[in-house]
Amino acid sequence: MVKSDSFSKLKEQEREARRDHIIGAAERVFSTKTFNAVTVRDIAKEAGISHALIYRYFPDQQSLFVEACMRRGAKIVEFIGKLIDDDNNIKIEKVTYHFIKFLADNDQYFRMMTHFMLDGSLSAKMIERLNEGERVLLDQFDRIFAKMSSGKNVRMLSHAYFAAMNGIVITFRNYPGRSREEVLNHMQALGTIISAKFKQ
User: Per residue of the chain (200 residues), what is the pLDDT tens digit?
Assistant: 556 677 778 788 888 899 999 999 988 888 787 777 888 999 999 999 998 999 999 988 888 888 888 888 888 889 888 888 888 788 899 899 999 998 888 877 777 777 776 766 778 888 888 888 889 999 999 998 988 866 789 999 999 999 999 999 989 988 889 999 999 999 999 999 999 988 87
| Separation of alpha carbons 100 and 173, rounded Å | 10
The total domain count for the chain is 1
User: Which residues constitute the domain of residue 156?
Assistant: 61-198
Question: Is 169 within a domain?
Answer: yes
| Separation of alpha carbons 85 and 89, rounded Å | 9
65-82 residues labelled b (16+ CB within 10 A) or e (exposed): bbbbbbbbbeebbebbee
Burial bucket for residue 145 (CB in 10 Å: 0-12, 13-18, 19+): buried
Count the alpha carbons within 13 Å of 155 in the hemisphere toward its beta carbon: 4
Question: Is 69 within a domain?
Answer: yes
